[in-house]
Amino acid sequence: MSIRDDAYQLCKIVRDSSSRDIVKNLIGSLNRAESATIQTKTDRSLFGYIARHLNAQILGYLVTDLKREELKKAPFPQFVPELAEQERYLLISVHKQIIQLNKECIAPIATKLPYYIRMLDPYSRFQYTIPFGSIEIDILVEKKIKDMAASFQKHPAIAMILGNPLPQIDDSNETKYIHAITKLIDSLLRAGILDAPAEFNEIFFEQNKDDPRRVITRQLIAIICVRQSLSILNQLIYQAILNDELSILNEDNIIDIIGPVSHTAGGGFSIILQPNWQTITTSLLDLVQIKCMASRMPIDQLCRVEGINHSYSGEFGSTEEFKLRTVDENLNPFGTLLINI
Average pLDDT over the chain reads 87
pLDDT, average across residues 302-318: 81
d(CA 21, CA 27): 10
Q: Is the pLDDT of residue 38 over 60?
A: no
In tens, the pLDDT along 320-339 reads: 899 999 999 999 999 988 88
* Three-state helix/strand/coil letters over 119-183: HHCCCCCCCCCCCCCCCCCCCCCHHHHHHHHHHHCCCHHHHHHHHCCCCCCCHHHHHHHHHHHHH
pLDDT of residue 41: 45
d(CA 245, CA 305): 16
Q: What pTM value is reported for the model?
A: 0.91
d(CA 254, CA 250): 6
pLDDT of residue 295: 59
pLDDT of residue 39: 45
Edge-to-edge strands of the sheet including 317-326?
247-249, 287-292, 299-313, 317-326, 266-273, 254-263
Q: Domains of the chain: which residue ranges?
A: 3-244, 247-339
Q: Is the pLDDT of residue 315 over 70?
A: no
User: Is 283 within 8 Å of 236 (Cβ atoms)?
Assistant: no
User: Is 138 within 8 Å of 17 (Cβ atoms)?
Assistant: yes
| Cα atoms in the 13 Å half-sphere on the side-chain side of 68 | 16
pLDDT, average across residues 120-129: 90
pLDDT of residue 172: 67
Q: Which residues lie across from 313 on neighbouring strands?
A: 317
pLDDT of residue 34: 42
Helices and strands counted in the chain (H then E): 15, 6
In tens, the pLDDT along 225-281 reads: 999 999 999 999 999 999 999 999 888 888 888 878 888 888 898 988 887 777 767
In tens, the pLDDT along 290-301 reads: 988 765 667 889
Q: Is the pLDDT of residue 103 over 90?
A: yes
pLDDT of residue 198: 82
The dihedral built from the CA positions of residue 93, 102, 238 and 44, taken in this order, carries a sign that is positive
pLDDT band at 179 (very low <50, low <70, confident <90, very high): confident
Query: What values do phi and psi take at 47, rounded to 5?
Result: -55, -50
pLDDT band at 157 (very low <50, low <70, confident <90, very high): very high
Contacts of 269 (CB under 8 A, 6+ apart): 193, 257, 258, 259, 260, 261, 290, 299, 301, 303, 322, 324, 326
More confident residue, 234 or 82: 234
Q: Is the pLDDT of residue 11 over 60?
A: yes
Candidate ranges 42-56, 168-182, 220-234; pick with highest mean pLDDT:
220-234
Q: Is 180 exposed, middle or buried (0-12, 13-18, 19+ CB in 10 A)?
A: middle
Contacts of 113 (CB under 8 A, 6+ apart): 161, 162, 165
pLDDT of residue 36: 34
Q: Which fold has domain 247-339?
A: Elongation Factor Tu (Ef-tu); domain 3 (2.40.30)
**DSSP letters along 224-255, please?**
HHHHHHHHHHHHHHHHHHH-SS-EEE-TTTEE
Q: Is 241 exposed, middle or buried (0-12, 13-18, 19+ CB in 10 A)?
A: buried
DSSP H or E segment with residue 100? helix 85-105
pLDDT, average across residues 304-322: 81
pLDDT of residue 201: 74
Q: Is the pLDDT of residue 40 over 60?
A: no
d(CA 276, CA 61): 27
Q: Which residues lie across from 326 on neighbouring strands?
A: 303
